[in-house]
A and B are shown apart, each in its own frame.
Chain A
Amino acid sequence: MAYAADCDTRGPAATAAARPVTLKILVAGGFGAGKTTLVGAVSEIPPLCTEELLSGIGADADPLDGVDTKTSTTVALDFGRITLDTGHVLYLFGTPGQERFWFLWEELSAGALGAVVLADTRRLADCFPAVDFFERRGIVFVVAVNEFDGGHRYTAGEVREAVGLAPGVPVVHCDARLTGSATAVLAELVHHLLSTAAPAVPAQPTDRGEPT
């Protein structure tokens, strides 16, 4: 079983005070952009596919009558874990970025450090909704250009221009299949977070701003 490989020997009685800080990074991108591959490449547990119900359950109103006969569609969440050290565990969630999944992203982005948007250069437009989502909520993200064989090679500048990214947003190339490359993308995000975390900068808005 996945966690049997975990060398954490704490028993169930481990105190709450000793619990590591929960760090969360989101991995977004269009269909086939490499989300599952990237999460799998960096995760210390076999990547899990957790599913959420698409009908927005968990939000508000849902008549409970007869639901046991109702069918529902799910959306896949790739789930991975990286134990950085005893005090810090990083969790990754990957899920499609299309607008109709945004209700899911609302929950997922609570407490998240930031996000990786995977861009497949064969279908660059597929990453636009994810970029919009993170921009609007002021969630720090990097764009990782996943270069598929046969895909057109764009320079970072070309991708930046096509996606209409703000100047500071890093654009990096990666091969989501390689642990080193995928880990470097996460490191780039955290590095970017650090560089934008100048202590004197006023707090970013915490409301969901309208697009400007």
Chain B
Amino acid sequence: MIRARAVPGKGAPREPAPWLDDSAGRVVRPYTASGGRTRPAVALDLLSSVTATGARPRAPLGAEHTAALRLCAGAAAVTVAEVAGQLRLPAAVAKVLLSDLVEAGAVTASAPRFPGGGGPYAAADDQTLLQAVLDGLRRRL
């Protein structure tokens, strides 16, 4: 068996998938929670951490916003991906909710501290960092 090289991709297919198979998940109607919006005003990474400030937003919050805010109010920092997973909402929708909460002053978000600033390969030559990760993993073995 020889690997068939995929066609040279110009990045990614941006079209909605014309066909679905077992790897595609549920069909959702997720936008009601975010009032139809799918683009957050505040840029959030899946690994941005979100923390409740304790300030109460002036306008009353809807159920989804309230649920998202509650998840941000725990003792430990929580990531956008965790909030989305807990709320069972697509990440794009969770980002809109969290972005609203940031704008309302109820939540602060901090971008992930990727080693070297987030570009690819940034950490690939950071021997000290990699050794720390390796040691950490080996302690768990």
A binds B: yes
Chain A residues packing against B (C-beta within 8 Å): 1-4, 6, 8-12, 14, 16, 19-24, 30-32, 42, 45, 48-60, 62, 64, 66-77, 79, 81-82, 84-85, 87-88, 90-91, 93, 96, 98-114, 124-125, 128-129, 131-132, 136-140, 162-164, 179-180, 183-184, 186-187, 190-191, 193-194, 196-197, 199, 201, 203-204, 206, 208, 210-211
Assuming A113-B133, A129-B6, A187-B141, is B76 touching A50 (CB within 8 A)?
A: no
Q: Which of A69, A88, A131, A197 contacts B127 (CB 8 A)?
A: A197
Q: What's the Cα separation between A111 and B85 when bound, in Å?
A: 21
Q: How far is the CB of A5 from chain B (nearest CB, A)?
A: 10
**Interchain residue pairs with CB less than 8 A apart (26):** A8-B76, A8-B77, A12-B51, A24-B114, A31-B23, A42-B140, A48-B82, A48-B86, A56-B14, A64-B36, A71-B27, A71-B28, A71-B29, A72-B27, A72-B90, A73-B25, A74-B25, A74-B30, A77-B81, A96-B23, A102-B11, A114-B124, A125-B4, A194-B127, A204-B121, A210-B8
Assuming A103-B11, A140-B124, is B112 touching A3 (CB within 8 A)?
A: no
In the complex, the answer to whether A10 meets B75 with C-beta atoms within 8 Å is yes
Residues of chain A lying within 8 A (CB to CB) of residue B122: 111
Q: How far is the CB of A109 from chain B (nearest CB, A)?
A: 6
In the complex, the answer to whether A3 meets B76 with C-beta atoms within 8 Å is yes
User: Chain B, interface size: which category?
Assistant: 35 or more
Q: How far is the CB of B122 from chain A (nearest CB, A)?
A: 7
In the complex, the answer to whether B137 meets A194 with C-beta atoms within 8 Å is no
Q: What's the Cα separation between A150 and B9 when bound, in Å?
A: 35
Chain B residues packing against A (C-beta within 8 Å): 1-6, 8-9, 11-17, 20-32, 35-39, 46-47, 49, 51-54, 71, 73-79, 81-82, 84-86, 88-93, 95, 110, 112-115, 118-127, 129-141
Residues of chain A lying within 8 A (CB to CB) of residue B139: 84
Q: What's the Cα separation between A123 and B25 when bound, in Å?
A: 20
Residues of chain A lying within 8 A (CB to CB) of residue B21: 31
Residues of chain B lying within 8 A (CB to CB) of residue A88: 129, 132-133, 136
Residues of chain B lying within 8 A (CB to CB) of residue A59: 12, 14
Top 3 A-B residue pairs of the complex, sorted by shortest distance between their CB atoms = A84-B136, A48-B85, A103-B12
In the complex, the answer to whether A111 meets B119 with C-beta atoms within 8 Å is yes
Nearest residue, chain A, Cβ from B6: A132
Nearest residue, chain B, Cβ from A76: B25
In the complex, the answer to whether A194 meets B37 with C-beta atoms within 8 Å is no
Q: Which of A73, A99, A139, A203 contacts B9 (CB 8 A)?
A: A99
Q: What's the Cα separation between A50 and B21 when bound, in Å?
A: 19
Q: Which of A71, A103, A124, A164 contacts B14 (CB 8 A)?
A: A103
Q: How far is the CB of A43 from chain B (nearest CB, A)?
A: 11
Q: How far is the CB of B10 from chain A (nearest CB, A)?
A: 9
In the complex, the answer to whether B120 meets A102 with C-beta atoms within 8 Å is no
In the complex, the answer to whether B82 meets A79 with C-beta atoms within 8 Å is yes
In the complex, the answer to whether B119 meets A206 with C-beta atoms within 8 Å is yes
In the complex, the answer to whether B130 meets A190 with C-beta atoms within 8 Å is yes
Q: Which of A10, A72, A163 contacts B3 (CB 8 A)?
A: A163
Question: A23-B114, A138-B120, A162-B2 provided; 6 other pairs, C-beta below 8 A?
Answer: A48-B81, A62-B39, A67-B37, A100-B13, A190-B130, A193-B123
